Amino acid sequence: MNKKIIFTTMLISFGCEQKDISTSDLRSTEKLIGLEFTKAERDSVQATVNDRRDQYEELRSLDMANEVAFPLYYNPQPPGMDLPRGRDQFQFQDEKTAMPDNIEECAFMTVPQLAYLIRTQQVSSEALTEMYIQRLKKHGPELECVVTITEELALKQARKADMEISRGKYRGLLHGIPWGAKDLLAVPGYKTTWGAMPFKDQILDEKATVVEKLEEAGAVLVAKLTLGALAWGDVWYGGKTRNPWNLEQGSSGSSAGPGSATAAGLVGFSIGSETWGSIVSPANRNGVTGHRPSFGTVSRAGAMALSWTMDKLGPMTRSVEGAAIIFETIRGTDDKDRTVVNVPFSYPSTNRLKNLRVGYVASAFADSIVSKNDKASLGVLRSLGFELIPIELPEFPTRSLSFVLQAEAAAAFDELTRFNQDDELVRQVKNAWPNVFREARFIPAVEYINANRARTLLNQKMAELMDTVDIYIIPSFYGDNLLRTNLTGHPCVVVPNGFNDKGSPTSISFIGDLYDDGNVLAVADAYQEVTHWHKKYPSKFYPSKE
């Protein structure tokens, strides 16, 4: 029995067989869309509107799973912008460090430090992997940050890494390093739950491109980590992911598990995703480094689709340099995600770094609500020799475009609404997916298209701003910047910049021009090198020296 018949049968069984749409129905609908037609105009469209509803029902008989792509591709490049050309320019090295007496202290080392210990064979990948797995088993339940420990796969990958390294086949700085994946990335043989009850037993027979690229680099997948259900918030079907700095507080989301697990030293690094703050917010809450790459630089193939024009995948780490190493590994085309473009990764040298134009949003730092930590961040950059340029974000009704996300998300999870499977989601408040999916049914297609056309105007305005600076610094949640730069696809690096009066981490954000991720990573790294906030750890989860 096809889905159309099932749906019609359901309507009849509940005594609500569909009736023809009347002219009075049309008149009510006009109020929703802010227009008013004449009686003659309503009479003219009535028959077509009824026919169109039949078209909708016929469309709904098709099997359109979440992985079916949206064929209209968002291109964030404003008219006249040429893609960057040239060769990749980066040179990352591991960081010399001493092997501690207690291997568990390695849990909080950065990617470059772990890479050094593995490359020099002071520690084996298998030993590191076993250590992280034990920490996942010990602390994961308390933090509610783990969906699945991929123990069998991890040990197999770790032993392979050790064998290769012992034979002189060193794949690079991620070889042998254990990591965790936000549980919207498909891994064959393991559940990919999207954090949501309707999908809690889902197994996808594919491997996400990001997972594949990290595997080719020799990284070791130790866990699938929690996300707020369908990538919103920190509440998933198994509970609420916790902030290791304050267990009474959620981890924020939707990359809740990657943020919590990275901060608590349960993985060497993690991969999160962002559509509208889902890397920035948990990075801030958990005191870790997050990199939201330029839209179209990292393939989303094999990842849950929420918004085809806004979704991005990126690293969450304990240092900016670690994030840069991971980005270098996972970027690039794959012949699957057609939004991805090949652009060079140019990470500036120390000399080139000094020539970058660094701006700051002057009104943001003058605002009394901005924290002393944010204002102090400007002083740090000046001490590094940057002549900060005051700028302002171009005026634009950014929030009027936000329903683009809701419309695309409702389409991605259309069947949840039509078959009332959204009732299975844990969060059922007004400001949660079930209600938002329903609201989205009332967004006219014309308005959705015009909102995307308006993005072109916003992209042009941001391009004009980025002609005056190479990057800019801004408090992580100031004004409309988070939504604005997610709509336009600009890269962001968020790093810890202190603690508030309650002892919780705070952060500052660096925004770069499209595809110039190297610039924004390099400036954020320079800031991090002299601040050391990223080396503070939640004491409850730091191993005892006894």
pLDDT band for 153, please (50, 70, 90 cuts).
Answer: very high
Return the pLDDT at 4. 42
Cis before residue 539, ω within 30 degrees of 0? no
Q: Average pLDDT of 307-334?
A: 98
List pLDDT tens digits, range 507-529.
999 999 999 999 999 999 999 99
Helix then strand count (H, E) for the chain reads 19, 15
Q: Give the model confidence (pLDDT) of 342-401 as tens digits.
A: 999 999 999 999 999 999 999 999 988 899 999 999 999 999 999 999 999 999 999 999
Describe the chain by its helix, strand, coil percentages, rounded to 5.
45, 15, 45
pLDDT higher than threshold 50 for residue 319: yes
**pLDDT confidence of 3, banded at 50, 70, 90?**
very low
Of the pLDDT bands very low, low, confident and very high (cuts 50, 70, 90), residue 545 is low
pLDDT of residue 546: 55
pLDDT band of 486, cuts 50, 70, 90? very high
Work out the angle between the directed axes of helices 111-119 and 151-166 (0-180°, nearest 10).
50
Q: For residue 2, name the pLDDT band (cuts at 50, 70, 90).
A: very low
Encode pLDDT of 401-431 as tens digits.
999 999 999 999 999 999 999 999 999 999 9
Mean per-residue pLDDT, 465-469? 98
Q: Report, as an integer, the average pLDDT of 318-332.
A: 98
d(CA 420, CA 535): 46
Element (H, E) at 291: strand 289-292
**Which parts of 333-461 are beta strand (E)?**
358-361, 389-391
Q: Is the pLDDT score of 538 beyond 70?
A: yes
Apex 94 CA angle, 91 and 96, nearest 5: 135
Cα-Cα-Cα-Cα dihedral sign, residues 20, 24, 27, 31:
negative
DSSP three-state, residue 208: coil
What is the rounded CA–CA span in Å between residue 86 and residue 317? 28
The first and second tokens of residue 347, run together, are 């990470």
Quote the DSSP letter at residue 494.
E
The rounded distance, in Å, linking the Cα atoms of 51 and 70 is 25
Amino acid at 152: E
* pLDDT recorded at residue 10: 41
Tokens coding 230: 């369908």
Token pair of 320 as six digits: 């900016």
pLDDT of amino acid 185: 99
- Residue 133 has what pLDDT? 98
Which residues of the chain does CATH 3.90.1300.10 include?
A: 113-341+353-397+452-534
What separation in angstroms does the CA of 504 have from each of 59, 173, 244, 266, 361? Answer: 49, 31, 10, 19, 24
Annotation: CATH topology of 113-341+353-397+452-534: Amidase signature (AS) enzymes (3.90.1300)
CA distance 521 to 527: 10
Mean pLDDT, all residues of the chain: 95
Do residues 333 and 341 make contact, with C-beta atoms less than 8 angstroms apart?
A: yes
* Residue of 508, 465, 507 whose CA lies nearest to 484: 465
pLDDT band at 5 (very low <50, low <70, confident <90, very high): very low
pLDDT band at 8 (very low <50, low <70, confident <90, very high): very low
**Stretch 266-270: mean pLDDT, rounded?**
99
Ramachandran class of 498: left when φ > 0, alpha when ψ lies in -120 to 50, beta otherwise: left
pLDDT cut 70: percent of the chain above it:
96
Cα dist. 341→75, 181, 299, 344, 474 in Å? 10, 23, 9, 10, 27
283 within 8 A of 290, measured Cβ to Cβ: yes
Residue ranges of E strands in 343-477 = 358-361, 389-391, 471-475
For 433, other C-beta atoms within 10 Å of its C-beta total 26
β-strand pairing of 146-149 with 220-225: antiparallel
Q: Can you tell me the distance from the alpha carbon of 356 to that of 342, in angstroms, rounded to the nearest whole number?
A: 23
Compute how many other C-beta atoms are within 10 angstroms of the C-beta atom of residue 395.
7
Q: Which element (helix H / strand E) includes 507?
A: strand 505-512
Query: How far apart, in Å, are the Cα atoms of 32 and each of 35, 99, 274?
Result: 8, 65, 30
- Are the CB atoms for 302 and 269 separated by under 8 Å? no
Alpha-carbon distance of 193 to 182, in angstroms, equals 10
Choice among 13-22, 235-244, 375-384, 458-467 with the minimum mean pLDDT: 13-22
Q: How far apart are the first and last CA of the chain?
A: 65
Among 318, 263, 323, 281, residue whose Cα is nearest residue 298: 323
Task: Report the pLDDT value the prediction gives residue 418, as an integer from 0 to 100.
Answer: 95
Give 9's pLDDT tier (boundaries 50, 70, 90).
very low
